[in-house]
Each structure stands twice: as structure tokens, then as C-alpha cells.
């Protein structure tokens, strides 16, 4: 392999490692966001007021987006 070919290989290898790290970070953030989202929904469902379903629905939506 020529020096140029070796340098290109090393650059691509580093790019692959950077991409893998980026994907791991994105997946970890997605898992954390999912946990928070599920917690917000659970809290909203616990606060559900069956006497006023429209207000409860709005509360669920508000908590889901928080």
C-alpha cells in the first residue's frame, strides 16, 4: 500500500470510529428521552380526572411534550 493509500485508509478508519461514537451518543440520548417521555405520560395518567375528560386530555398532551 502506498503512503497515500495508507493515509486515506487511516482517515477512513477514524471517520468510521467517529461515526460509531456519534451513533452510540444518539442512541443513548434517544433512550433517555424515551424514559422521560414514559415518565411524563405515567404522571399524566396518574393525574387523570375522569370527571373532566377534555381537561385531562389536555393535561396528558401537555405532560407528554414537557
Which triple of cell numbers denotes residue 48? 387523570
Instruction: Tally the residues of the chain.
Output: 66
Query: For the chain, how many structural domains are there in total?
Result: 1
Mean pLDDT for back-to-back runs of 10 residues, the chain (66 residues):
86 97 96 85 72 71 67
* pLDDT value for 16: 97
Structural domain including 41 reads: 3-65
Sign of CA dihedral 33, 37, 38, 42: positive
- Round to whole Å and give the CA distance between 14 and 64: 39
* pLDDT value for 1: 64
Amino acid at each position: 500500500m502506498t503512503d497515500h493509500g495508507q493515509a486515506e485508509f487511516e482517515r477512513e478508519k477514524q471517520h468510521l470510529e467517529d461515526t460509531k461514537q456519534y451513533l452510540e451518543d444518539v442512541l443513548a440520548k434517544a433512550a433517555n428521552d424515551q424514559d422521560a417521555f414514559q415518565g411524563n405520560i405515567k404522571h399524566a395518567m396518574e393525574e387523570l380526572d375522569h370527571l373532566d375528560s377534555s381537561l385531562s386530555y389536555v393535561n396528558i398532551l401537555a405532560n407528554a411534550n414537557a
